[in-house]
Amino acid sequence: MVEVKVKGGTIKGISDGQIDSFLGIPYAQPFNTASRFKHSQLNHGIGNSNIDARKVQSIPPQPYNALEDFFSTQQNGFNSFIQNENCLYLNIWRKSCSNKIKPVVVYFYGGGFTQGHGTAELYNPYHIVEKEDIIVITFNYRLGALGFLDWSALNPQFDYNNGLSDQMNALKWVHHYIEYFGGDPNNVTLMGQSAGSMSIHALMQVPELDTYYHKVMLLSGALFNETKENAQLKANQFSTLINTYYPGKSLESLTHEDILHLMDLHESERGKSRSLDLIYRPIQSSIMTRTIDDFPKPVFMNFTSSEGDIYIENESRTLSPSRFVEVMKLYDIEISKNHAQTAQQQRELITQYYFKEPTIDLLQHIHTPHKWLARFDWCHPNSTHFKTAYHILDIVFWFGHLDILTTNQYDIIKSDIDLSQRMISDLAYFARYSEMPWSPYQRDTQFTFIYK
């Protein structure tokens, strides 16, 4: 066991002699029947209390996540976690017996804003912290309708962007308390993948948060902003479903199981989309006053060479050409049905228009010269599960979880280990020095570093 004194209180964690970990620290106040539809409130109540942070706590309510079980060395890993609306916990990993003030990385998980949590095996940063003397933090934020439906359209006493408020409070907690763990509150990196990256993109537009972080790493995700009008339309659809399927229930009496059921109905009503229709996502709000052009902090962005392959795995998983065109139009992407006939065409269009072009566009708009771009190309065409560099595969390497590849019938070779070590080293270098150890991205040269 390891203990950290925090403003008169104590947080107890676990240690294996090399790495200390503090699991399930409550960063926000618990919810009641009404506050569950509102912005979370920062938990200041650490002084004069003892927090037992030696075991994983509840994760956000969400549907079954097959990807989490695939990217795991455990059987039934996802179902081993308890789901509860009181899920706003964070986890801290650091080297044992190191007195240096450490850079801090806060990781935002992906999952389409409907799935994911900070204690998934894939996001355990043990190997990062083992190799580099930095602190890594993961955390939970509310998902789906609970996190990103516009509840204010159903009741003016309620809020929208509730999941975003959770993320903001996690950053505030880190700012106030990470120095007690040896972290530097003046050197905090936000790192996120997919929906986690899109979340950071949203927070970059909120200048009042500038105190709480100092650079960003955006992996495979630039945000398509949700307008308030479109968010209200979705909220009205959700309200109609509540009245149809739960006519005798108030909003406050809906269980999280009810809400997951309504989310499933909502998705069915809107039509098949292979998770491309991000029904619940951050909504444009009055606090997002900064354009991305004026974002002043260092930025690193990365995408994979075959992002779309995870969405359309084969011909049996394609959308009809007309439906594919409809889904792309949701994000103002105009394509011809003739170009979306096959699985390969749809995969390439997703990679190009959902990931590559938005990434390049974001970098082109940011005026700061402190920006870097990389592409992840690693794959093995003769393997069973890793034939292309698809969406999320790079996270295995960023976090050093090559054992997940082994679990899925792939034999690791030295170059795989070297690549993961290089990526972890680059991550830590960026966290320490606010730059990558290679040329920055420029509008004219468009230098792209390749991980392969």
The percentage of the chain sitting over the pLDDT mark of 90, rounded to a whole number, equals: 94
pLDDT at 443: 86
**How many Å apart are CA 48 and CA 51, to the nearest integer?**
10
The percentage of the chain sitting over the pLDDT mark of 70, rounded to a whole number, equals: 100
Question: Would you state the structure tokens that stand for residue 169, as one six-digit string?
Answer: 């409070």
Question: Would you state the structure tokens that stand for residue 97, as one six-digit string?
Answer: 């017996």
Position 119 pLDDT exceeds 90: yes
Instruction: Identify the CATH number of the domain defined by range 99-114+133-451.
Output: 3.40.50.1820
pLDDT at 383: 96
pLDDT at 219: 99
pLDDT at 49: 82
Domain locations along the chain:
99-114+133-451
Taking all residues of the chain, what is their mean pLDDT, rounded to a whole number? 97
pLDDT at 7: 83
**How many Å apart are CA 9 and CA 12, to the nearest integer?**
10
**How many Å apart are CA 57 and CA 64, to the nearest integer?**
18
Active site residues: 194
pLDDT, mean of residues 79-102:
95
pLDDT at 99: 85
Helix axes 343-350, 321-329, angle to 10 degrees: 10
Position 245 pLDDT exceeds 80: yes
pTM above 0.75, yes or no: yes
Q: Tens digits of per-residue pLDDT, 136-166?
A: 999 999 999 999 999 999 999 999 999 999 9
Q: Is 180 helix (H, G, I), strand (E, B) or coil?
A: helix
Q: Tens digits of per-residue pLDDT, 281-310?
A: 999 999 999 999 999 999 999 999 999 999
What's the number of CA atoms in the CB half-sphere (13 Å) around residue 129?
28
